[in-house]
Structure 1
Amino acid sequence: MGTAQEVEITGRIDVHTVPDVRLLLHEIIDTGCGDVLMRLADAEIGDATGLGVLVEAYNRARRAGRRLAVVDMSDRTGRLLRASRLHRSLVLREAVDEPTVVAVTA
Structure 2
Amino acid sequence: MHIRGDHAELVVGGRLDVRSAADARTVLHAAVDGGDGDLVLDLAGLDSWDATGLGVIMGAHRRAGRCGRRLVLRKVPPQMQRVLVATRLHRILAIEPRPVSGRGAGPEGSASTGVLANP
When the two structures are superposed, what TM-score results if normalisation uses the length of structure 1?
0.79
Which of the residues 55, 77, 86 maps onto 2:89? Answer: 86
Alignment of 1:1-106 (within 5 A): 5-93=8-96
Cα distance in 2 for partners of 1:7, 1:32 equals: 12
Q: Which runs of 5+ in 2 are unaligned?
A: 1-6, 98-119
| Runs of 4+, deviation exceeding 6 Å | none
Root mean square deviation, CA, Å: 1.6
1:12 positional shift:
0.5
- Structure 1 residue runs of 5 or longer lacking an equivalent are 95-106
* Secondary structure, aligned partner of 1:25: helix
Aligned residue identity for 2:66: R
Match of 2:103 in 1: none
Whose Rg is larger?
2
Which structure features the higher share of strand residues?
1
Task: Specify which structure has the bigger relative contact order, considering alpha-carbon pairs within 8 angstroms and separated by 6 or more residues.
Answer: 1
Distance 1:45 1:55 in 2: 16
